[in-house]
Every structure is written in C-alpha cells, then in structure tokens.
Structure 1
C-alpha cells in the first residue's frame, strides 16, 4: 500500500495491571461500574486488590467512559480500550434485556 505499513491484528497475550486500579461492571436497571484501588503491601511486590474507591452509574457507555477518563481512573491505553469494549457490551445488554457478564460474550 504505497509505503504504508500494514499490520495484522493480534491480541495481547499478557495482561498488565493498571496502577490506577480495576473495575467491576454489572448491569441491573442501569450500568454499575465499581472502581477499586490496587493496594500494595509495604515492601511486598504482590498486589493486594480490593479497596472500593468510586461507583459510577448510568445508561450510556460513552458517558461512563468519559467519567472514567475525566476522573483519571485509568493509566493504561489497553485498559481504557478494554473498558470501552466492556461498557459497550453492557449498554447493549441493558437496552436489549440481555444477560451481561464481564469478560464474556453476549448471547444475541
């Protein structure tokens, strides 16, 4: 393609933790996103997870993504991309009364 590099898409094999924390996404009457901080023990390289920091609710994947970015809750681009995919699935599930489970495909 005239000097333009063409790349074959491939998934990352290794997940890396986001220093800003992680998210648990559920769908009930709205999308509920819980943000948890990563808490590292003093002198320990192992990450202890699980301190609830914020809860974001809404019906729009875009509005929730915008809130996450505005609040500075992600530091990694791959994490932000993952959240965008998951939140879009959650919005589809909410609008179509489908079951939603984080990290799983939606059965259409």
Structure 2
C-alpha cells in the first residue's frame, strides 16, 4: 500500500467547504483526530473489498467480477465496518452521529 499524505491529498476546494460549514468542519476534525494518517479508514476499505471478493473461497480477485448486487452490498458493508472500527454512534435520521452531527 502506498503511504497517504493527507496534507498533499487535501483538495483546495474542500477547505472553502470546511470554512463555510461548521458541521462538516466538526466531522472532519473528529475523523482526523481518530485517524490522522487515514490508515484505519483505508484498512476498512481494503478489508471490505477482500471480504466481498474472498478469493480463496470464490476464486474472484477483481472488483469487475462482482455481481451488481454485490457491489451495491459493498456500501452497506463499508458503513458497518466503519462503525465497528471507529465506534461511531448511531445517527438519528442518518447512519452515524460523528461529533454530534448526523452523517450518512
């Protein structure tokens, strides 16, 4: 896996959003505090893809070989696995509550 440099990967346009949206800024700050280098988040994504492909059992090692329903299921698995990794609270109207903000 290539190292991820968060500072280099930050989109210049996203800074304007963070400055104009206090809830987005609070969620961003909380996630960076939990995972400053993005390694935990990346590991969840990698593990979820591996969970879906499961090459040893299915013989599939490529995202393109998944069925449409399996790809759709990926989003749900990512949400579940992120909540397990970061122990986000359940949201009121959305999936999670991060820094007191409902997040989907």
TM-score (norm 1): 0.29
Higher strand share: 1
The higher-RCO structure (CA 8 Å, 6+ apart) is 1
